[in-house]
Amino acid sequence: MRLLLFLLKCVVGILATLGLLVVAVALVLGLAWRNVESWKSAEVGQPDNAVLVLDLAKGLTDGPPGPAATFGGLTGETNLRRLVLGLEAAADDPRVGGLLLRLGAGELSMARAQQLRRAVLAFRKSGKPVQAFAASFGEGGDGTLHYYLAAAADRITLQPSGNLDLVGFTLDQPYARALLDEWDVKARIYRREEYKGAAEPLTFEEMTQPVRENLQGLLDSWLGQLTADVARDRGLTQAAVRGLVDGGPYLPAEALKDRLVDALGYRDEAEAAILKAAGSGAELEPVRDYLSARGDGGSEDGLPRIAVIYGQGPVTLGESGDGSPFGGLSMGADTVSEAFREAAADPTVRAILFRVDSPGGSYAASDTIWRAVRQAKEAGKPVVVSMGALAASGGYFVSAAADRIIAEPGTITGSIGVVSGKILTAGLWHDLGVNWSGVQAGANAGFWDSTRDFTPQQWARFTGFVDAAYADFVGKVASGRKLSVAEAEAVAGGRVWSGADAAQHGLVDGLGGYRAAIDAARELAGLPRDSEVALVDYPKAGNRLERLLRRFLSDSLLATRVAGLLRASGLLPPLTQAAGEAQLLSQDPRANLLRAVR
């Protein structure tokens, strides 16, 4: 495994020189484009009757403005929080006459689709038209989820040459036990408990029954939510929608006949239809331009403040990765805990909103952030967690101490369990003709080495570590959620839950997105329900270009950063994915003790 990692890094390293030039050009273009956008918004202004156009193919981000935002002008990505709150404002804005959704392409999770659906449905209550267009539902993205979002519109137009892939959900992954056996590689794994399936692909040849039952329950929950919502949107029964799901995918004429879409037409025809519905003088305007012109909604002066802290990506020790081309997205314990301390010490902050979207990771890092949440509460700052698409294992650990937890019905959460171990590669090295030989001082100095197995005494010690971490996890969930240890254990065991099922089991307090979390924070802060608040991101943003250059130039592993750039650009996804898997298997197993998925 180390040999594979070495070879992959060598290949990526060859690209580092060219990557540096690409990065420099991208920095200049990104900053320049953002300035051009602001000048354009200031000089051109907004139409008197704008039809906002949301194109999901441009992408969505869910985080604070930061170094990665420098590249937002080039990619066209829209910030989710600004979008949701901006659509709320647009519903009451007399200069906005309607909304057009361009769907069918772009990444979309169940939870994010529900967040956007809620915003679209709220916009519709203003009486302004909302229409959706897709060249095809499924060719450029998840057809089921894109259609789920489209169903929230008044009218759906599908291109005559497209398809409608309303087919439901699937979760599968490759199981590599037989391949590892062939390579003489062994995965020495211990988990608590049987539903914790993160390492199963390394230890089994197929999904075990407990994990299969658990994941089937998650997908059944998702499908139940989707069929109920689409039935309500389209004026059908839930049973009829379930039948349509099982009968998909559909040709355009079939989708029209079955009342899944309202018209067949091309993009220009869909645009003409929404402009006509919006009334005289209507003009199309990208929603991103509208949000740029609007800013953050006005001055913060004198308003009660709610601190917003983001915890996104794998939970790690050290600083957070900002998702820029110079590093992947991660929830760094130092960065997040410092943000909590900063917000807790600020007398103008009335409450803290903690946005969590994470598969988990390091137990120690998760515990550090858990402690910071507790200390903020002890300092008198209510903490509300808003869960995104995924807040599982360590992602749930960091949330457990909050005063209130809000999740989308489709959020993947829970996974209260622990898994760890190491990959034994001695057999592989032997087959390759490589013999590892060395010395050590200390009976257990090679405890974590991948070239030697645990001794019986070491295995007992190791499993004791995992048992202790699991007991601590369950105990902290019980304490934070006001459950008995037995009650917490009944929903733990590594089980994952949809947000809707988690609410029924006491793991979350309410269902909703940003607006529900903001309302909860306002309530816990003792503010009037209709009072205006200012959302302030913590930690405070510094000079973005300076931070980018400092991170880039100070990192000795230049190839790793270039690999991040290549991954973001999509140029070498197979190479970078393989490198990432090799890196995961080669690092200290404690870095992934509380991980829900690989």
Contact call for residues 427 and 181 (beta carbons, < 8 A)? no
Mean per-residue pLDDT, 248-272: 98
Beta bridge mates, 423: 187
Supply φ then ψ for residue 523, to 5 degrees: -65, -50
Q: Residue 254: what pLDDT?
A: 98
With a pLDDT cut of 70, the percent of the chain lying above it is: 79
Mean per-residue pLDDT, 531-547: 75
Give the Cα separation of 274 and 152 in Å (integer): 15
List of residues 6+ apart from 440 with CB closer than 8 A? 446
Per-chain mean pLDDT for the chain: 86
Encoding tokens for residue 155? 């009218």
Tell me the catalytic residues. 196, 393
Mean per-residue pLDDT, 102-112: 96
Tell which wins on pLDDT, 579 or 313. 313
For residue range 297-337, list pLDDT tens digits in order: 555 678 999 999 999 999 999 999 877 655 688 999 999 99
Q: Residue 324: what pLDDT?
A: 64
Q: Could you tell me the pLDDT band of residue 21, with boundaries at 50, 70 and 90?
A: very low
Mean per-residue pLDDT, 352-360: 97
Give the Cα separation of 205 and 178 in Å (integer): 6
Q: Residue 596: what pLDDT?
A: 72
Supply φ then ψ for residue 544, to 5 degrees: -70, -45
Q: Residue 588: what pLDDT?
A: 61
Contact call for residues 148 and 229 (beta carbons, < 8 A)? yes
Provide Rg for the chain, Cα atoms.
25
Cα four-point dihedral sign 173, 177, 182, 188: positive
Q: Residue 598: what pLDDT?
A: 53
Q: Residue 294: what pLDDT?
A: 80
Question: Does 26 score more than 70 pLDDT?
Answer: no
Q: Could you tell me the pLDDT band of residue 561, with boundaries at 50, 70 and 90?
A: very low
To which residue do tokens 């009037």 refer? 528
Question: Does 40 score more than 50 pLDDT?
Answer: no
Mean per-residue pLDDT, 545-549: 48
Q: Could you tell me the pLDDT band of residue 581, with boundaries at 50, 70 and 90?
A: very low
Q: Are strands 331-332 and 155-158 parallel, antiparallel or unpaired?
A: unpaired
Give the Cα separation of 227 and 244 in Å (integer): 9
Question: Does 361 score more than 50 pLDDT?
Answer: yes
Lowest mean pLDDT among 105-119, 202-216, 376-390, 537-551: 537-551
- By CB neighbour count within 10 A (0-12 exposed, 13-18 middle, 19+ buried), where does 149 fall? buried
CA 456 to chain centre: 40
Q: Residue 371: what pLDDT?
A: 98
Q: Residue 133: what pLDDT?
A: 98
- The residue count for the chain: 598
For residue range 389-433, list pLDDT tens digits in order: 999 999 999 999 999 999 999 999 999 999 999 999 999 999 999
Element of type H or E holding 79: strand 78-79
Beta bridge mates, 329: 322
With a pLDDT cut of 90, the percent of the chain lying above it is: 75
Q: Could you tell me the pLDDT band of residue 18, with boundaries at 50, 70 and 90?
A: very low
Q: Residue 253: what pLDDT?
A: 98
Element of type H or E holding 2: helix 2-14
Residue 537's CB is within 10 A of a number of other CB atoms, namely 19
For residue range 141-172, list pLDDT tens digits in order: 899 999 999 999 999 999 999 999 999 999 99
Q: Residue 579: what pLDDT?
A: 44
Q: Residue 77: what pLDDT?
A: 82
Mean per-residue pLDDT, 60-71: 64
Q: Residue 325: what pLDDT?
A: 59
Q: Residue 65: what pLDDT?
A: 55
Q: Residue 554: what pLDDT?
A: 47
Structural domains for the chain:
46-167+248-294 (3.90.226.10), 305-434+446-595 (3.90.226.10)
Q: Residue 573: what pLDDT?
A: 46
Mean per-residue pLDDT, 529-540: 92
Tell which wins on pLDDT, 596 or 499. 499
Question: Does 36 score more than 50 pLDDT?
Answer: no
Mean per-residue pLDDT, 178-204: 95
Q: Residue 260: what pLDDT?
A: 98
Q: Could you tell me the pLDDT band of residue 440, with boundaries at 50, 70 and 90?
A: very high
Mean per-residue pLDDT, 434-454: 95
Closest CA to 82 of 388, 295, 298, 306: 295
Give the Cα separation of 61 and 76 in Å (integer): 10
Contact call for residues 18 and 11 (beta carbons, < 8 A)? no
Q: Residue 595: what pLDDT?
A: 72
Mean per-residue pLDDT, 577-590: 51
Question: Does 578 score more than 90 pLDDT?
Answer: no
